[in-house]
Amino acid sequence: MRRRNYDWSEAADIYAILRGFGVRRGVVDVGCGEGQLVRYLKERGVEAAGCDVAGGCGGAGPCDVTKPETVPAGRAWILQHVLEHVPEGAWRPLFARAAEAGVKLIVAVAPGHISDDPTHICNHFAPRPSRMYYGKFGAVKICSISALRRAVEDAGYRTKLFVDTHTFSSPWDLDYIVVAAKRGLIRGLLPWLMRRKFAQLKAAFKLW
């Protein structure tokens, strides 16, 4: 469950968020695909493993996000471009399982990619629900980022939403990142926010 061209700048953001929360072990990449994020985190000293329907990455076994009991517990779950492939009806049981396990959540989804990926159920996320549009593979659903946040919060989490602009190098280089924790959310995010703002200013100056 990964986009064909892996987004390393988003991986850097995820790593920085984990550092801000002080989480260096028990990280589970849910829907790990080919394991790029797991390898990236391990190279930086994070104890991480991943699971996917096709098998595990870095030591974990297979899992299916539509069957939350198959997802291993840990200290943090990362769902990086996984929910595009998952029916909305599966979100709440998954987040309820996460809350029960007491894990922090980092959820990245695509807000504006007009993708012809035939495996997408939610082709991209918009601020509000919208009608489906017709793409190469037929009608593709546009999901609501507000509904996603509400589903996370209804499980007992506090959430923060970011539009991740990375290095401003391309209009396609944009993603929503929803970060969720039961407590210490803002305190945990402050170090990442400061580094992120500095990186964005630096990138903006390079364009002038």
The predicted-structure confidence for 107-151, as pLDDT tens digits, reads as follows: 988 775 556 677 778 877 876 655 555 555 455 577 888 889 999
Give the CA dihedral 106, 127, 117, 113, nearest 10 degrees: -100
Please, which residues have CB within 8 angstroms of residue 197's CB and are 6 or more apart in sequence? none
Q: Using an 8 Å Cβ cutoff, are 177 and 162 in contact? A: yes
CA 145 to chain centre: 12
> Given this model, what pLDDT does residue 41 score?
96
Give the mean pLDDT of 17-21: 89
Q: Where do we find the tokens 């009806």?
A: 89
Residue 195 has pLDDT above 90, yes or no: no
Pick the more confident residue, 206 or 73: 73
Confidence of residue 106 (pLDDT cuts 50, 70, 90): very high
> Given this model, what pLDDT does residue 176 score?
82
pTM, two decimals, is: 0.84
Confidence of residue 3 (pLDDT cuts 50, 70, 90): very low
| 10, two tokens | 């988003």
d(C-alpha 190, C-alpha 82), whole Å: 26
By mean pLDDT, which of 77-86, 148-157, 191-200 is the weakest?
191-200
| Residue closest to 162 by CA, chosen among 205, 122, 200, 117 | 200
